[in-house]
Homo-oligomer: A and B are copies of this chain.
Amino acid sequence: MSQFSDIEIARAADKLPIQEIGARLGIPAADLLPYGHDKAKVGQRFIDGLKDRPDGRLILVTAINPTPAGEGKTTTTVGLGDALNRIGKNAAICIREASLGPNFGMKGGAAGGGYAQVVPMEDMNLHFTGDFHAITSAHNLLSAMIDNHVYWGNDLEIDTRRIVWRRVVDMNDRALRQITASLGGVTNGFPREAGFDITVASEVMAILCLATDLDDLQRRLGDMIVAYRRDKTPVFARDLKADGAMTVLLRDAMQPNLVQTLENNPAFVHGGPFANIAHGCNSVIATKTALKLSDYVVTEAGFGADLGAEKFFDIKCRKAGLRPDAAVLVATIRALKMNGGVAKADLGGADAEAVRRGCANLGRHLSNLKGFGVPVVVAINHFSGDTPAEITAVQDYVREHGAEAVVCRHWAEGGRGVEALAEKVVRLAESGAASFAPLYEDGMGLFDKIDTVARRIYHADQAIADATVRQQLHAWEAQGYGHLPVCMAKTQYSFTTDPTLRGAPVGHDVPVREVRLSAGAGFVVAVCGDIMTMPGLPREPAAERIRLSEAGHVEGLF
């Protein structure tokens, strides 16, 4: 175990100039747009020139259902990337950008930890290269244009009660969840109910992460539904002529960001959509660019494998034509213990029996992942208190279920501590065992898609929904949206919709409370529980302690 904190380790990093990181990938300095000395965007023209190159191998890092004990998906992604480079592969990692707002609520830090980190950590948790600000601006320009259109006569006959396009801010601000806007008289417009979401919940964010280039971006932006008329026909962003200006605002943001790990290996950090009402993966353009420039690309998906991996496969890979070569399923002894029924306060004691019981959760994810035709290896993200008996319990369980579990010590040792996993990943990926296929065909009905995910991935008896929901799905099928994949918005803490049910529950239904159409992003969201799209600040927000130190360092953010 390290005696240093994450931020101390990050500050002591021996960073290379970002041009040197780019050079390792074959990116000329002229095609890197620097942001300071340790961050850069990869120029669009350079990316356009890569089309004919072969792709490297794509590795997904996913996890068991998250618990308060922590799993370490990002640290494993970083550590595996470093380890692959150590064993002679040219590897890059692809992860998501952090949202600014939540850092001022609870302690932040979304760049790994220990000796498996991406740097510069402070910048990555602040404005970074401005991508999220650009998304906020583009989103709110459309919002302003909607109300402005109504103000000047409403030629499109928008029903102001049915404006579904809200505003966004990258801040935890519960006071903005529900507002009445346009008050104060004639010059301020027509009063109506409105509200704000946090920026990462914006459909523009999901689109930026799924678009293949600027033309595709603009087409998708134009396809977004912003409101309905009294006859319930949709009004699109294109009808408001907002798609061109939004694309201009997003032009720089579309270029993937390049930074580095503590071991000076390339890391693409780009995009960060919500993992409930959106698909929770870094951008397609970053992943595809990395695949053109590396032998191996290690990426991750939000939450546990039931949500994150399923969406990675069924939304991102399906739509972008990606074919993953292997998956790493991350677990910790502590989290498995919690899945085995141990309370957080009792995690201190060794309990191999509880670990074995908790492996039911792991086993279900393992079989789910194999169902996508992707070979899987389990990574045991090692904590210092783990006992040999507990580790053996996991390894035995996983072996019984036809896979292998490798102990990984990236947090304490960096890439060196995860070379065994890297070797295993290479063997799996180069075995040719992968034959990826998404869970369902495009042609399946929308409700059947939801039901298929519920049964096959959540191991539920069925998905259930009232007539209103089913009619809405049928209406969208009639309007030509039936081919879209579904995006499940469900608690990440359980296979069920009850966050308290850990392990591998059976006998549950998945009630679909509401469905939403993200016509630009290209998926239908099935809301199965309470989904919060605008967080609040806690009683004592982290912001109260965040400040610059005498030395100019950021304190309190991590």
**A residues at B contact (CB < 8 Å):** 30, 33-37, 44, 100, 104, 126-127, 130, 133-134, 136-137, 140-141, 143-145, 147-148, 151-153, 167, 169-184, 187-189, 193-194, 214, 218, 240-242, 244-245, 247-249, 251-252, 536-537, 539, 541-548, 552, 554, 556-557
By the criterion CB–CB under 8 Å, are B145 and A541 in contact? yes
Residue contact A144 to B537, C-beta cutoff 8 Å:
yes
Contact of A547 among B171, B244, B539 (CB under 8 A): B244
Minimum CB distance partner of A539 in chain B: B152
- Residues of B with C-beta under 8 A to A187: 174, 536
Say whether A137 contacts B170, CB under 8 Å: yes
CB-based contact A241/B127 at 8 Å? no
Q: Which of A100, A170, A174, A180 has the most chain B CB atoms inside 10 A of its CB?
A: A174
Closest B-chain residue to A38, C-beta based? B33
Q: Please, which residue of chain B has its CB at the minimum distance from the CB of A18?
A: B34
Q: Which of A170, A245, A537, A541 counts the most chain B CB atoms within 10 A?
A: A245
Contact of A36 among B33, B143, B536 (CB under 8 A): B33
List of B residues within 8 angstroms of A152 by Cβ: 539
Query: Are B151 and A248 neighbours in the complex by a CB distance under 8 Å?
Result: no
Q: How far is the CB of A216 from chain B (nearest CB, A)?
A: 13
B543, A214: Cβ atoms closer than 8 Å: no
Measured between C-beta atoms, what is the minimum distance from A48 to chain B in Å? 10
- Chain B residues near A177 (CB, 8 Å)? 183-184, 188
Q: Beyond A33-B36, A179-B181, A181-B176, is A151–B536 a contact (Cβ under 8 Å)?
A: yes
Contacting pair A126 B171 (CB below 8 A)? no
Decide: A171 near B141, CB < 8 A? Known: A177-B188, A183-B180: yes
Min C-beta distance of A53 to chain B, whole Å: 22
Q: Please determine whether B537 and A145 come into contact, CB atoms closer than 8 angstroms.
A: yes
Copies of this chain, count: 2
- Contact A248 B35, CB 8 Å, known A141-B543, A181-B179: no
Instruction: Provide the residues of chain B in CB contact with A545, threshold 8 Å.
Output: 241, 244
Cβ-closest chain B residue relative to A170: B137
Asked if A140 and B169 make an inter-chain contact with CB atoms under 8 angstroms apart, the answer reads yes
Q: Given A34-B36, A144-B172, A248-B126, verify A241-B189 contact (CB < 8 Å).
A: no
CB-CB < 8 A to A33: which residues of B? 35-37
- For this complex, 19 residue pairs linking A to B, each with C-beta atoms less than 8 Å apart, are A34-B36, A140-B169, A140-B171, A144-B171, A148-B541, A151-B175, A169-B169, A175-B181, A175-B182, A175-B194, A178-B182, A178-B184, A179-B180, A183-B193, A242-B543, A244-B545, A244-B548, A245-B544, A248-B546
* Set B126, B136, B174, B552: member contacting A182, Cβ < 8 A: B174
Chain B residues, Cβ within 8 Å of A557: 248
How far is A371 from B541 in the complex, measured between Cα atoms in Å? Answer: 51
Please give, as numbers and ranges, the residues of chain B lying within 8 Å of A140 by CB-CB distance: 169, 171, 173
The 4 closest A-B pairs by CB, nearest first: A244-B547, A178-B184, A133-B133, A241-B544
Q: Which residues of B contact A184 (CB under 8 A)?
A: 177-178
Interface contact A174-B145, CB-CB below 8 Å: no
Residues of B within 8 A of A193 (CB): 183
In angstroms, Cα B130 to Cα A34, docked, is 14
6 extra A-B contacts, CB within 8 A, seeds A137-B170, A214-B548, A248-B548: A34-B35, A147-B173, A174-B187, A179-B179, A183-B193, A245-B542
A251 cross-chain contacts in B, Cβ below 8 A = 548, 552, 554
Q: Contact at A147–B130, with CB atoms within 8 Å?
A: no
Least CB distance from A108 to B in Å reads 11
How far does the alpha carbon of A169 sit from the alpha carbon of B214 in the complex, in Å?
A: 25
Q: Residues of B contacting A556 with CB < 8 Å?
A: 244-245
Chain B residues with CB under 8 Å of A214's CB are 548, 552
Do A178 and B188 touch (CB < 8 A)?
Answer: yes
With A174-B187, A252-B127 known as contacts, the answer to whether A247 contacts B547 (CB < 8 A) is yes
The smallest C-beta distance from A94 to any residue of chain B, in angstroms, reads: 23
Complex alpha-carbon distance, A130 and B184, angstroms: 32
Taken together as a complex, chains A and B put the C-alpha atoms of A74 and B170 apart, in Å, by: 34
Complex Cα gap A197–B284 (Å): 36
By the criterion CB–CB under 8 Å, are A547 and B245 in contact? yes
Could you say which residues of chain B place their CB within 8 Å of the CB of A170?
137
Cβ of A147 and Cβ of B175 under 8 Å apart? yes
Candidates B171, B178, B218, B245; contact of A543 at CB < 8 Å: B245
- Specify which chain B residues have a CB less than 8 angstroms from the CB of A539 in the assembled complex: 152-153
Which of A171, A175, A182, A189 gathers most chain B CB within 10 Å? A175
Of B44, B143, B179, B541, which is within 8 A of A552 by CB?
A: B44
Contacts of A148 in B (CB 8 A): 174, 536-537, 541
Chain B residues positioned under 8 Å from A541 (CB to CB):
145, 148
**Residue in B closest to A169 when the chains form the complex, CB atoms:** B140
